[in-house]
Amino acid sequence: MARRTGWGGELPVDDTEAVARILCAARLVIESEGADVSVTLVARELRVTRQTVYRYFRSVQELLAAVALDAGRTAAPTIIDRVRTITDPAAVVVELVASAIEILTTDRVLVFLLGPGASTGLLGGSMTGQVARDQARSILDELEFDWHKLGFDDDTFDQLVEWCLLVIGAYIHRPDDEIPEPSQLRTYLSVWMRPSIEAARGGNRGARRRPAAGTMTQSVP
């Protein structure tokens, strides 16, 4: 484990804690400084040297990409919780996309990291880069659907993931005043996404998820 100095007199217990504290400090700097974020400012926030930060992240771009990835992982449980009682696959996808748009566009740090002119490579290359795809797949896989039985083979499922990310990315790049209200957003997404999702299922309706006991089936208009 790399030697650590400073840290305001409170040394991390291990590298995992060190990374977590660096990411937290980076978020604070982004919130206060925006585009002026730098390794120097992050190190100052932590009361460590720049070399200490560089032991864990080779550049400010790598650090910012890690902040974006960590923020995405943190947001995932909230997004998933919003759809756990929905039994219609098309409605689930619409709500997942709508929730992701709402969360990502209201988080100042994520707006900076993923918005226009972002220097993070949008989670590793693009909004549809491999890291972003893996995160989106993990969210869909955590739901209690058998996507293959629903009519999605591997290629079609990959296309669904890519399409969702493209829609989310399009809204992230919009000014705040061009993002619809929650109900309008869901209606719009449902009108245009639901028919395509139903068509991709190939008419197979046999693998719906059962609602948990005591819950009601929800649907997106």
CATH number at residue 39: 1.10.10
Are 75 and 37 members of one domain? no
Q: How far is CA 48 from CA 12, 25, 40, in A?
A: 12, 11, 9
Q: Clarify whether residues 77 and 49 are in a common domain.
A: no
Is pLDDT at 113 greater than 60 in this prediction?
Answer: yes
Q: Mean pLDDT for the chain? A: 83
* Boundary residue ending a domain (38, 58, 78): 58
Cβ count within 10 A of residue 158: 13
Whether residue 143 sits in one domain with residue 114: yes
Answer whether residue 64 is part of any domain. no
Nearest CA-CA partner of 215 in 144, 146, 148, 152:
144
- pLDDT digits 0-9 by tens, 47-99: 999 999 999 999 998 998 889 888 888 888 999 999 989 999 999 999 999 99
Count of the separate structural domains present in the chain: 2
Boundaries of domain holding 45: 7-58
Average pLDDT of the residues in 143-158 = 91
pLDDT at 214: 42
pLDDT over threshold 60, residue 218: no
User: CA-to-CA distance for 88 and 217, rounded, in angstroms?
Assistant: 8
Contacts (Cβ under 8 Å, ≥6 apart) of 25: 42, 45, 46
> Is residue 147 a part of any domain in this protein?
yes
The reply to whether 35 and 105 lie within a common domain is: no
pLDDT digits (tens, 9 = 90+) for 121-137: 444 445 667 778 888 89
Whether 198 has a pLDDT exceeding 80, the answer reads yes
